Amino acid sequence: MLRVARKVLVISDTNRFRQGPFLLRLAKLLLYKLNLWNAFDFLQTRGKGYQVFEGDGVFYSYSVYDNLKQIQPWAESIEIHSIGESRSSSSSQPMLGSGIELLIAVRKKLPSAD
């Protein structure tokens, strides 16, 4: 996406850290913060990297937070907006809050080709 986006990058996806009971959400967040999420996801999906749910089809675990480190050097500004109902009133940990996250990144101005 960063290679082909000219000025703005917009990503919207469900927030995996909001799904499930509160203790499960905390556990998922802890695994993510400890950089163990990929190993957990590998074990959970038995190496496939995806799951299949009846009615939903193929499901890949993704969060807009997964690519922040890649987007930051590209972007002049990044905003993440929570959309939908909030399950947590904790503003200290927004990753636990809403069901859908919307990331908007505005590209840094490119040097002119003069």
**Burial of 15 (C-beta count, 10 Å sphere; 0-12/13-18/19+):** buried
Residue 45: which residues within 8 A CB-CB, separation 6 or more?
Answer: 51, 61
The pLDDT of residue 75 is above 90: yes
pLDDT, one tens digit per residue, over 53-71 is 888 789 888 888 888 899 9
Tell me what percent of the residues of the chain surpass a pLDDT of 90.
Answer: 33
Top pLDDT among 34 and 65 is at 34
Question: Which pLDDT score, from 0 to 100, does residue 74 have?
Answer: 94
